[in-house]
Amino acid sequence: MKNSTFKWDARYETGLAEVDTQHKSLVELINHLGELRASGGSVADLTAALGALADYAKYHFSAEDALMQAAGISPEHSTTHRREHDQFLDQINQIIGEAQGEVMLAIDLLLRYLVKWLAFHILGQDTEMALEIAALQRGISPEVARKEAREHVMRGTEVLFDALNVLYDDLGASYVELSRAYAQLQQSSESRLKEAQRLAHLGSWELDLSKNHLTWSDEICRIFEIDPERFGASYEAFLNAIHPEDRAMVNQAYQDSLRTRQPYEITHRLLMADGRVKHVHERGKTDYDTTGQPLRSIGTVQDVTERVELEHELRAQAQIDYLTGLANRRHFIQQGELELARTLRFGRPLSLLMLDIDHFKAINDIHGHQAGDAALQTLAAHCRDALREIDIIGRIGGEEFAIILPETDGASASLLAERLRESIARQTMATEKGDEVNMTVSIGLAIHADGAAAKLDDLLKQADLALYQAKRGGRNRIHLFGV
């Protein structure tokens, strides 16, 4: 492999020099495993790599424990962090057991696990740890330091997304190199070719256009979950194996390639017999005779289901508030702007509520930040239960929530807001220590009247001003903007 499997980026640094140095040593090990997977590895190579992993885990984890203890990081954070460390070693042992002595399979499984660990643990928990330590060193209280670190990491989800893209793009490059080596592998050993395809989840195909005969490698048959003896080997049979919603798109990409005489690549879905969906990335090109007639098409199909699902998960995180499960501020605004555009187009009413937990700081100070988190979660759950499916709710600040009520005029919005305020005030929340906490909210209400032009930002500002008036008026009350 000419290039590294993973290239270090300054954005991945935590700011703790000792920790970052150890992370870079793990990157070097990942790159070494990538080289072994491309060129072939022995039992001795695998044993050496496992020894390096054990050394990394022993020194790195103990160093982080010492840092957390010295800084005074919250016990629940350090406990969670150590649990992740234990799971790391357990997973390595499990991978070796699953490989059952197959060196190349063990190397492949290790590499896949380590790149995910690198992204999710180092760019997630380790970065959160470093930020919390830095905040504590500035004299910030442990509760606030923990909260700031957690929110910063969640806002940095894009870095995780970018990191996984880099990792999988570079892994994909190694797959391309494997496909380029197919000719040499065929000359030496057909079995080695099949093993390379199996490890890379990458199959090859060839379509004889004069006979409309399609040849698939064993790996493509495994990816498509098709019995090669029962598969009608033709282009039409291939199309029928594709997800019905993607068939036209795939066919168009191939036909355009024939017309322009250019290679093509496309990612599409497969629909399995039991309803499961897979995602594959396909590359292909066509050879032509001297008169310009297409003779044969060749290409590869790679199973990228794991990558697509990881990217999707990172996007469910980029839109959702980590604590309450509600839409975060950015996603709430995106949804709200779409709803407001629909409201303006059809000339319908719309209302916006801004909620704020009264005396939230006192809950944190008296009962601890865990009680504060529980209060936010309780409010979120209560709002979800009380609202309609068409209503849009999001956490847009620390203890601030916003609700968009489509098809709702001022009178109806006021009634709903009052019912919500009263029901929250009647609730009692129990803390982990057994204390009972009463919670109230203040609500600001802004109305978009029929036919009036407006921007979502204007409604948010109006609701925020109304919320401020509700707070000034004594809290646990509703205030309508402009009244």
Q: How much is the average pLDDT of 77-103?
A: 74
Rounded to the nearest 10°, the torsion over CA 352, 357, 359, 362 is -150
Q: What is the pLDDT of residue 99?
A: 75
344 shares a domain with 463 = yes
Residue type, 364: N
Summary count for the chain: helices (H), strands (E): 18, 12
250 shares a domain with 119 = no
Question: pLDDT: is 369 or 161 the higher one?
Answer: 369
Find out whether 328 and 321 touch, Cβ atoms under 8 Å: yes
Question: pLDDT: is 82 or 53 the higher one?
Answer: 53
Note whether residue 1 is domain-resident: no
Binned at pLDDT 50, 70 and 90, residue 77 comes out as low
Q: What is the pLDDT of residue 332?
A: 93
pLDDT tens figures, 276-315: 999 998 888 999 988 889 999 988 888 888 878 777 766 6
pLDDT tens figures, 26-73: 888 888 888 887 777 788 888 888 888 888 777 777 777 777 777 777
Q: What is the pLDDT of residue 153?
A: 53
Note whether residue 436 is domain-resident: yes
For the chain, give the mean pLDDT: 79
Q: How much is the average pLDDT of 220-243?
A: 79
User: How many structural domains are present in the chain?
Assistant: 3
Token pair 């199909």 is at which residue?
Answer: 301
325 shares a domain with 244 = no
Note whether residue 80 is domain-resident: yes
- Residue 111: is its pLDDT beyond 60? yes
Note whether residue 194 is domain-resident: no
What is the domain extent for residue 36? Answer: 10-179
User: Which residues have C-beta within 8 Å of that of residue 84, sequence separation ≥ 6?
Assistant: 121, 125
Note whether residue 17 is domain-resident: yes
- Domain boundary residue, one of 123, 144, 179: 179
Binned at pLDDT 50, 70 and 90, residue 469 comes out as very high
Q: How much is the average pLDDT of 382-411?
A: 92
**Residue 140: phi, psi to the nearest 5?**
-75, 145
pLDDT tens figures, 367-396: 888 888 889 999 999 998 889 889 999 999
155 shares a domain with 217 = no
**Catalytic site includes residue 399:** yes
- Residue 183: is its pLDDT beyond 50? no
Among the listed ranges 85-99, 272-286, 447-461, which one has the minimum average pLDDT value?
A: 85-99
Closest to 329 in 3D by CA, of 460, 184, 191, 469: 460
326 shares a domain with 305 = no
pTM over 0.75: no
pLDDT tens figures, 17-39: 777 777 788 888 888 888 887 77
- Residue 199: is its pLDDT beyond 70? no
31 shares a domain with 138 = yes
Task: Tell me whether residue 138 is exposed, middle or buried, using C-beta atoms within 10 angstroms of its C-beta: 0 to 12, 13 to 18, 19 or more.
Answer: exposed
Share of the chain above pLDDT 90, in %: 25
Closest to 379 in 3D by CA, of 446, 462, 460, 437: 437
Q: How much is the average pLDDT of 321-342?
A: 89
Among the options 13, 311, 399, 432, which is catalytic? 399
Share of the chain above pLDDT 70, in %: 79
- Domain boundary residue, one of 277, 309, 341: 309
329 shares a domain with 364 = yes
476 shares a domain with 347 = yes
Phi-psi sector, 344: left (phi>0), alpha (psi -120 to 50), beta: alpha
Note whether residue 193 is domain-resident: no
Note whether residue 303 is domain-resident: yes
396 shares a domain with 295 = no
Q: How much is the average pLDDT of 328-339?
A: 91
Q: How much is the average pLDDT of 321-337?
A: 89
369 shares a domain with 460 = yes
Q: What is the pLDDT of residue 260?
A: 92
- Residue 152: is its pLDDT beyond 60? no
Alpha carbon distances (Å) from 77 to 13, 151, 370, 455: 20, 14, 12, 41
Helix extents (H) in 347-479: 360-367, 369-386, 410-426, 456-472
- Domain boundary residue, one of 309, 338, 363: 309
- Residue 177: is its pLDDT beyond 60? no
Note whether residue 408 is domain-resident: yes
CATH number at residue 263: 3.30.450.20
Question: pLDDT: is 151 or 376 the higher one?
Answer: 376
Closest to 5 in 3D by CA, of 120, 161, 124, 177: 177
25 shares a domain with 150 = yes
